[in-house]
Structure 1
Amino acid sequence: MEIKLKIQNLKCHGCANTIVTQLSKLNDIAEVMVDNNSDEVSFIYSSELSFNLAKKKLSDLGYPIVGESNSLPKKAKSFVSCVVGRITK
């Protein structure tokens, strides 16, 4: 199944690189794409479990889904993820 999610705290291509890299490591997640212009991430998943793990990973990286809690610690995590994504690109 394919899904497109609007996420929070997406700032740059460093953020996108981190998201693509980290979600691609998850089992049963494929074709991860990030659109910085629309703040959306899309991917293919094979089960509800893999979808929920991907949502949790996004939140843990600091990019919660729009409508979910976006606390200060999550915002701070997104800045760290952004820097890591710029370094590892």
Structure 2
Amino acid sequence: MQNLKCGGCANTIVTQLSKLDGITDVTVNNDTDEVSFNTDSETTIETVTNKLSDLGYPIAGGANSLPKKAKSFVSCAVGRMTK
């Protein structure tokens, strides 16, 4: 995953992904820039990928435009405030 910077980012990702239907046990590893979760369908994986990108955290190798980088800073700040 790209743009993962700190615990604020991780908090936002865990909070937002946990709201999606069929997603459980969300964890974020800041050291390896990885997100893991349990899901009950392949369709949900695409939904998670899209949600991460919308939050500013595209998957590794995906397009990482300036607007996505900016979104990640906002997501990070929100995550820091809601800890």
State the TM-score, normalizing by the size of structure 1. Answer: 0.92
For residue 44 of structure 1, what is the aligned residue in structure 2?
A: 38
* Per-residue Cα deviation, 1:64-86 (whole angstroms, up to 9, x for no partner): 00011000000000000000000
For residue 81 of structure 1, what is the aligned residue in structure 2?
A: 75
Match of 2:5 among 3, 11, 14: 11
1:67 and 1:45 mapped to 2: Cα distance? 22
Residue aligned with 1:20, SS: helix
Structure 2: which 5+ residue stretches go unaligned? none
State the superposition RMSD in angstroms: 0.4
5 Å-filtered alignment, 1:22-37, equals 22-37=16-31
Letter in structure 2 aligned against 1:15: C
Runs of 4+ in structure 1 deviating by more than 6 angstroms, as ranges, are none
The structure whose residues are more often strand, as a share, is 1
Q: Which moved more, 1:41-50 or 1:12-21?
A: 41-50
Identity across the alignment (%)? 69
2:15 and 2:65 mapped to 1: Cα distance? 23
For residue 63 of structure 1, what is the aligned residue in structure 2?
A: 57
Number of equivalent positions: 83
Letter in structure 2 aligned against 1:32: V
State the TM-score, normalizing by the size of structure 2. Answer: 0.98
For residue 3 of structure 1, what is the aligned residue in structure 2?
A: none
1:41, distance to aligned residue in structure 2 (A):
0.4
